[in-house]
Amino acid sequence: MAYTKGQAIKDDVIRESEIKVSATEDRGSRKRINRPNKKLKKPLISFASDNNAGVHPNILSAINSVNQGHVISYGDDIFTQSAVKKFEEHFGKDVDVYFVFNGTAANVLGLSAVIEPFNSVICSEVAHIDEDECCAPERFIGCKLITIPTRDGKIRVEQIKEHIHNLGNQHRAQPKVISITQATELGTVYNPEEIKVIADFAHKNQLFLHMDGARLSNAAASLNVKLKQITADVG
């Protein structure tokens, strides 16, 4: 389901008249749903991070089933190897898998692998790396984030082009990465064609394309495509 910035969640999830919206947060652009004023006619569906909820019983059962005996540490155990093979099935044999604690760690480590402190990252103004990670990229990488205004959470090549300038100028941050979020923070998705256009532009201009895929499975389900079709296959 897609909705624009600051818009309440649609009636099929929760009726607008039955919620109380708090004061705006961050830049005053996004509103946060507070407690309902009265009993809801439908259960509240949360689109927040999965770490807001409890662990699914099947996950706990799987953890408990392997919580015995001894295995080799640091990723050399059969369970980690099995998980890596699953990633290879979905993303291709040449994928490198690094397990991290959360999305912020994944974003920072991924960006730090391809960027220097004098570089910049071009992203949307609602990008998680800019609004919700408490300056983590700037703190640990030292880079600059250049944000692009957006009505739907997505950015386009026409907008990105405006920030590809002053290349080689020692007084300006040098663009190095284009970062997109799939699905976006506003619930929209990039289709394979849109991603390929951005990827081709990035490669043509010696830039890297970074994808924050915290909700990648949701995007794949929405588009009815395989994970590889919206990642490795499109650049």
Regarding whether 194 and 122 lie in a shared domain, the answer is: yes
Residue 3 lies in a domain: yes
Regarding whether 127 and 207 lie in a shared domain, the answer is: yes
The per-residue pLDDT for 137 is 92
Regarding whether 19 and 79 lie in a shared domain, the answer is: no
Regarding whether 29 and 127 lie in a shared domain, the answer is: no
The per-residue pLDDT for 38 is 54
Which of the residue ranges 18-27, 96-105, 211-220 would you say has the lowest mean pLDDT? Answer: 18-27
Q: Is the overall model pTM greater than 0.85, yes or no?
A: no
List residues bridging with 179 in a β-sheet: 210
CATH code of the domain containing 220: 3.40.640.10
**Angle value at C-alpha 185, between 141 and 163, nearest 5 degrees:** 55
The number of domains in the chain is: 3
Look up the domain containing 72 and give its range. 63-99
Query: In angstroms, rounded to a whole number, what is the distance separating the alpha carbons of residues 93 and 27?
Result: 42
Q: Which residues of 15-46 are buried (b: 16+ CB within 10 A; e: fewer)?
A: eeeebeeeeeeeeeeeeebeeeeeeeeeeeee
Regarding whether 202 and 126 lie in a shared domain, the answer is: yes
Regarding whether 14 and 122 lie in a shared domain, the answer is: no
Per-residue pLDDT tens over the stretch 33-57? 444 445 656 666 666 777 788 889 9
Regarding whether 131 and 215 lie in a shared domain, the answer is: yes
Per-residue pLDDT tens over the stretch 148-179? 999 999 999 999 999 998 889 999 999 999 99
Regarding whether 29 and 104 lie in a shared domain, the answer is: no
Q: In the predicted model, what is the mean pLDDT of residues 74-90?
A: 93
Residue 32 lies in a domain: yes
**51: CB partners within 8 A, 6+ apart:** 102
